[in-house]
Structure 1
Amino acid sequence: MMVSIIEAESSSVNDRKRKLYSKWLSVSPEATWNDVITALKIRRENTLAQNIKEMIEGHHSVPNISNRAAVGNTQKEIKFNTKENEAEVSCSLTELNKSFTSLMTKVRRAFDKKVASDPELLTDITRWIEIYMNWNDKLTNASLNETFNIIHPYYDFIDCNLIVDLSEEFLYGVTFGEEKINILSELQNHKRKAEKFRSSTNANPHLTTSNGSNALMIASYCGNYEVVELLISKGVDYKYQREDGVNAFMMACEKGYIQIVELLLKEQEQVDPNVKRNDGGNAFMSACKNGHIQIVELLLKDKVDPNVQKKNGLNAFILACQNGHTQIIEMLLKEQVNPDVEKNDGLNTFMLACEKGHTQIVELLLKEQVDFNLQNKRGHTALMVASANGHYEVVKLLLEWKADPTIKSNEGHTALFYAKTEEISVLLQQVDDAISVSSCTSSVLSLVM
């Protein structure tokens, strides 16, 4: 299963890759990345060249553009037809980059002036961006400079939609220079040039990368709706699966791109949302794991099977529990999923929620009457797992529900032995003492009677 490495890192790498993928699709199918890097270095665009090189050598889980393009079942190296073509593409990139850099300087200056004259405008700007980007409180209390630093990974000199749309909202009619040049008009003109550049040559949309990803898969992973739509119209196989079974639909579900998911489901011959990867995982599991509520809801309406398990026993319910997605858990319980489902190693949903310290989910599952004293193959209980991971509130909750602290693992240890913190040790010791007193009292009473 493709692990969401990008979520654990700065999103800028992923988004910058998206821009490179778009360029790869649109500029020329006859260029290798080494050619592009060499051309940029010749023109002293060393920073851009280095960025491209670093991204190409990035994480293997991200669909990577190799220096070779696979055609059919064979691979061949494709180069620019002539040095003139190479220079022309490089020059176009350089000029677009310079033009956009100059424009952004003026855009920043214009925003600085507007916010300085009306400080409350900053709130409107940050709220607009959060709505536009579908963010929740990501820009709360951010200064204007911090705001632009945060959104910087989401645009560049080729894909400048965010800046153009932002300027249409807040810089309408703003001019610069003695000639009163309109900033918005200049941005829109730059956008048209960039789009013309991206579509200036005929690209082969059916090429695949070294790991088997086609262009539509890459666009789906990176959230580029327009490219996905374009590639479908060009006849690219949107049901295509790599050797590991991954397809574009799975990538869009994993990353949470609801518009792309809806697009693929609405196609005349819609994708099968239940299709599996080689490991048994599917798109629904990825959406549940990553907390994409809208996609989960959409797929449930599309009648996906929420109980399907991977080869290792993992399923959508386990993944949602493990990652703390309470709302998805509630949705799945309404679909009558089995809350006691286990992985092949004996760990069940309840134990995983306890292991991760998701108190709200633990409480939710307790109300579903899960067996909280169940032991896995090593004899561990949910109480032992919560104790070993230092989750005091979960331990306390389990004891309130009368979880048995005297149960022993295969090694002969109780939850007290595994306690990670002094606070948990004290709590378990108190319960053990109370049980001992109760047991002694019962023994005395039985003798008297």
Structure 2
Amino acid sequence: MTASSPAPATARKLPAGALKAYIASLTGTSLEYYDFAIYSVASALVFPKVFFPNNDEFVGLLLSFSAFAVGYLARPIGGVVFGRLGDRIGRKKVLVVTLMLIGVATFLIGALPDYSVIGIAAPVVLVLLRLAQGIGVGGEWGGAVLLSSEFGDPTKRGFWSSAAQIGPPAGNLMANGVLAILAASLSNEAFLSWGWRVAFLSSALLVVFGLLIRLKLEETPVFKAIAAHGDRPKAPITEVFRKEPRALISAALSRVCPDVLYALFTVFVAVYATKQLGMTTGNVLAAILIGSAFQLFLIPAAGALTDRFNRRLVYGIAAAGTAIWIPVFFIMIQSRSEVVLTAGVVIGLAFHALMYGPQAAYITEQFPARLRYAGSSLAYTLAGVIGGAVAPLIFTALYAASGNWYLIAVYLLAASLVTIIGLALGRDPQPEEDLRLLGEATGQESHA
């Protein structure tokens, strides 16, 4: 990894749809993480009682979490199906379908009759809807990234690609805001009876807003140039595995550390601080929400930073900083101070932002333009299964086995090293490919 700046002197005028594409990209991933946050809460508090009634409460909880995990396991299916279509028929068409799939499934969960009404059909349909959500999410991310980055300046891909990365903190903030309002205004009985459904049904607003923007957008300039050259791949998934194995490995490994780190600070810290340190749930949630609010600005800033300085270098420094910060964080919060906890979470999520902001640009630029949707989707979904999906379970197992945070710090160290290895295998930005494609397409239009 060198320290040279990746950006060449040549740039281009932004298309008129660049800002709309940025908003459209952000909307889709915000819906994804809004769904993630409300489904997490519902899986723990609501679904065991509503959809998985059992005399053993623990069994009901396990069944509910199993339904939650289905969404993660289904993501690679979406990555394969929609990744292929995205490189074959275009980014826009696929993104309209994925947004509708996620949104309709989320809405239907909110409207699904419970076990007392339709019996065993209730949990079966819930799992099927969760499966549909996962498939949609698996195809959404790669396209959302390409939608904003391929409308934007190729020499500033870090910033333009960051639109999709703002989704997690934005979705978490919206979900927690809705849940806070419901919790404050309803009794526990009312929340279990119908209040939780409001959080799911509200997703329809995001879907409608996102669709209005996406339907008005044209296809991305880069894909139109590829289509004009007659260079669309016939079997993009096969080509990625056959021709781009190193890129796929590099892109997938780059996700591991930020995924594990995010799970630590948004999921496990809440368990550790309340169970081990005796702090209140309100203290922890406030710290996470403040950290998420900072990320709304830090993520695009981090993406823009790596447009000026070597992307892999900045990413790698943040991964190394993560390994150092985790033991410092756990030592600090032994004081049980709310201020210290909040500062520690904010700094931890800032390290995450330094990796997550440029992550979308890094992953997409590992693949040639004609294979970007398939390659990016595969890397994103496969890494999610071995990173964020299992991280909370591993944290819990390590903590139960040792009774302290030491093994968790070792786990984050290993995740950091995996990501650094992935970065070492990757390549620096090559915006010349997009500029050449766009230049040739513009020349053909002028000649015509």
Q: Greater Rg, structure 1 or structure 2?
A: 1
> What TM-score, normalized by structure 2, do the two folds share?
0.23
Give the TM-score normalised by the residue count of structure 1: 0.23
